[in-house]
Amino acid sequence: MSEHDNAARLLHVVAEGELPQPDILDALMDKIDALTESHSGLKDTCNRHFNEEDDFKWQVQSAFPGGDMSGHRIYHEALIEQARARRDFWRKMTFELTKWTLIGFVGWIVVQAWIGLLKGPK
């Protein structure tokens, strides 16, 4: 007979107002004992896991100055923003220098061509 059948028989017997038979009670008590033992093991496992999480959390926090993770992140974000600003500055500087050098060169060619036209053919 299965444990489910024992539980159903116990409920039926109690509903009818009869006293349950000792074999049903013994089977149910064995099941309760097994569940209690299983719960105890699970509780120990959970407590050990929670302690390991606390240790890990402490290790992570101790890796940052003063345990300040958000301050550390903000500091790095500021460094990244500064690096981007430098990159953008040098990109713009290079572009502007190239642009004005090219404009100057084209202007020089135009002036030289104009001077050549003014001198006429040789």
What confidence tens digit (pLDDT) does each residue in 55-77 have?
A: 888 888 888 888 888 888 999 99
Share of the chain above pLDDT 90, in %: 37
Contact predicate 57/51, CB 8 Å: no
C-alpha dist (Å) from residue 51 to 56, 64, 69? 9, 21, 21
**What is the reported pTM?**
0.47
CA neighbours closer than 13 Å in the CB half-sphere of residue 8: 5
Where does residue 118 rank: exposed (0-12), middle (13-18), buried (19+ CB within 10 A)?
Answer: exposed
**pLDDT the model gives residue 59:** 85
Whether 3 shows a pLDDT value over 60: the answer reads no
Q: Which residue has the higher pLDDT, 109 or 120?
A: 109
CA–CA separation, 72 and 55 (whole Å): 20
pLDDT given for residue 15 in this prediction: 64
Per-residue model confidence (pLDDT) at position 57: 86
